[in-house]
Structure 1
Amino acid sequence: MAKFLTDDNLNVAVSNLIEEAKQTFIIISPFIKLHDRLKKRLSEKSENYDFELVIVFGKNENDLSKSLSYEDLEFFKSFPNVEIRYEPKLHAKYYANESSSILSSMNLYDYSQNNNIEFGILMKAGRFTSEDIDIESWEYFDKVIESSKILYEKRPVVESKLLGLSESFKGSEVEIDILDDYFKQLKNSSKNLKGYCIRTGEQIPFNIKHPFTEKAFKSWSKYNDPNYNEKFCHFSGEKSNGQTSFSRPVLQKYWKQAISS
């Protein structure tokens, strides 16, 4: 049966989801900055080359550190069997192992976990049956994963022994790594654009990493909330009615134009 979760119960459920994972763990979250307890739970899986870690992050960023912290990126890359993907339209949050999943409003971001009002719906597969919503969400997010852009992939190298009755782990090989090139390309595309402060509307250089005047940035940095609703679109300068923030400074309708200009 699906279970509605909030506050500490939601945080504990995500932690348990990691602990109970045997074969795979999926993180789909626009913003990722792991809480220490979640990193500890994941660390316990890092020596198992059969355990697959799948990461999908997103949002309209040209700087990796705004959506996925460098520390967490290096942590994820240390796993022997991992893929890291990017989906710019991502807003959904989904966490799953092979037998349970959580649909949630909460980014896997320590600020969200500690400060925001969030909810999650925990779904578990039974021994003989699975809830329809668990199956449907798994299938839906499998398509999200497949359609996202893969930026990093590392797979274990295994040698069979005794006519296939046993195997030996020989290490892992990085098969895809375009993280640096991908975000450098996004950054270069925005160099010569004029932008607007998302708090005051004043014209400033276009820089998704820094969409504020210096004065507005000092005001924002007092609370450092990446999801705080702002007033203007960094790309067009028009009023955003709270649809922009430090984490999403450009209105969705202008994103493709912004990165291709």
Structure 2
Amino acid sequence: MPLFLNTESLNNYMGQIIDETERELIIISPYLQISEEIYLKLCYANSRGVETILIYRENQLSESERIRLLSLDNLNLMHHPTVHAKCMYNEKFLLIGSMNLYEYSAKNNREMGVVFERTINDPWGSDDEDVFEDALEEINEIKNSAEMERASRETITEGFELEILKSKVEKSEEYLRNINKIFIYKKFISHDLVHDKKHN
């Protein structure tokens, strides 16, 4: 169930999402002027091995801000020519709101947003599965049409692939491929694949 956020709670959730990211984090914010508090949280996430994609709007990053961000070696820094969306996404939370990752906004603007949280028992959140899937599709489209400014250390060595960017269908297909390697005399196929064949 989504939770409504005002300016204060948006700012708090942004910090919480960074703190609670276990492995992968996506941030989309056209305009960046990161507060010292948020920057230190990103530094700590970086030191824990969190792989981050940060997408901002092309030509909207100061040189001093770029230098700070490039100090994070697990950060994939990307820019997009027309992005105006603002969101944060990790293994547990999807936050969508009006606020950029901009210190002035957090202190002076009236902002709104919503946050969705996946449940422990159902990693896709039974009530909000479509929201996660639709948001993930849009995040992937933004990422795929953005330009890589600097790849992270992990992207350089292992390739540009994040687990949280995979759709439910992609995760199911990957799981089935692994299962089919184990069972020699049985072949497991996706329910979605069976459904598609019946309707084609």
Query: Are the equivalent residues in 1 in contact too, given 2:14–2:88 (CA < 8 A)?
Result: yes
SS in 2 for 1:46: helix
Higher percent of residues as helix: 2
Q: Which residue in 2 is equivalent to 1:141?
A: 139
Q: Which residue in 1 is equivalent to 2:92?
A: 99
Q: Which residue in 1 is equivalent to 2:75?
A: 82
1:4-28: CA deviation from partner (whole Å, max 9, x where unpaired): 1002111101110111111112110
1:55-76: CA deviation from partner (whole Å, max 9, x where unpaired): 11115x3xxxxx2233332232
Percent of aligned positions with the same letter in both sequences? 25
Q: Which residue in 1 is equivalent to 2:24?
A: 24
Query: Are the equivalent residues in 2 in contact too, given 1:53–1:79 (CA < 8 A)?
Result: no
1:64-110: CA deviation from partner (whole Å, max 9, x where unpaired): xxx22333322322223221111111111111112211111111111
Aligned length: 153
Q: Matches of 1:70 and 1:19 in 2, distance apart? A: 26
Q: Which residue in 2 is equivalent to 1:39?
A: 39
Unaligned runs of 5+ in 2: 160-200
Q: How does 1:59-138 map to 2 (within 5 A)?
A: 61=59, 67-127=60-120, 128=122, 129-130=124-125, 131=128, 132-138=130-136
Q: What code does the residue aligned with 1:31 have?
A: Y
1:111-149: CA deviation from partner (whole Å, max 9, x where unpaired): 111111111110111121421212321221122111111
Query: Are the equivalent residues in 1 in contact too, given 2:5–2:114 (CA < 8 A)?
Result: yes
Q: Matches of 2:13 and 2:100 in 1, distance apart? A: 14
Query: Are the equivalent residues in 2 in contact too, given 1:87–1:149 (CA < 8 A)?
Result: yes
Q: Matches of 1:69 and 1:17 in 2, distance apart? A: 25
Unaligned runs of 5+ in 1: 62-66, 158-171, 176-261
Q: Which residue in 1 is equivalent to 2:170?
A: none
Higher percent of residues as strand: 1
Q: Matches of 2:84 and 2:118 in 1, distance apart? A: 25
Q: Matches of 2:29 and 2:76 in 1, distance apart? A: 14
Query: Are the equivalent residues in 2 in contact too, given 1:3–1:123 (CA < 8 A)?
Result: yes
Q: Matches of 2:83 and 2:137 in 1, distance apart? A: 16
Q: Which residue in 1 is equivalent to 2:13?
A: 13
Q: Matches of 1:79 and 1:94 in 2, distance apart? A: 20
Q: Matches of 2:68 and 2:62 in 1, distance apart? A: 10
| Bigger RCO (CA 8 Å, 6+ sep) | 2
TM-score w.r.t. structure 1 length?
0.54
Structure 1 residues 71 and 97: alpha-carbon distance in aligned structure 2, compared to 1, 3 A threshold: farther
Equivalent of residue 149 in structure 2, options 151, 162, 172: 151
Q: Which residue in 2 is equivalent to 1:56?
A: 55
Q: Matches of 2:74 and 2:133 in 1, distance apart? A: 24
TM-score w.r.t. structure 2 length?
0.70
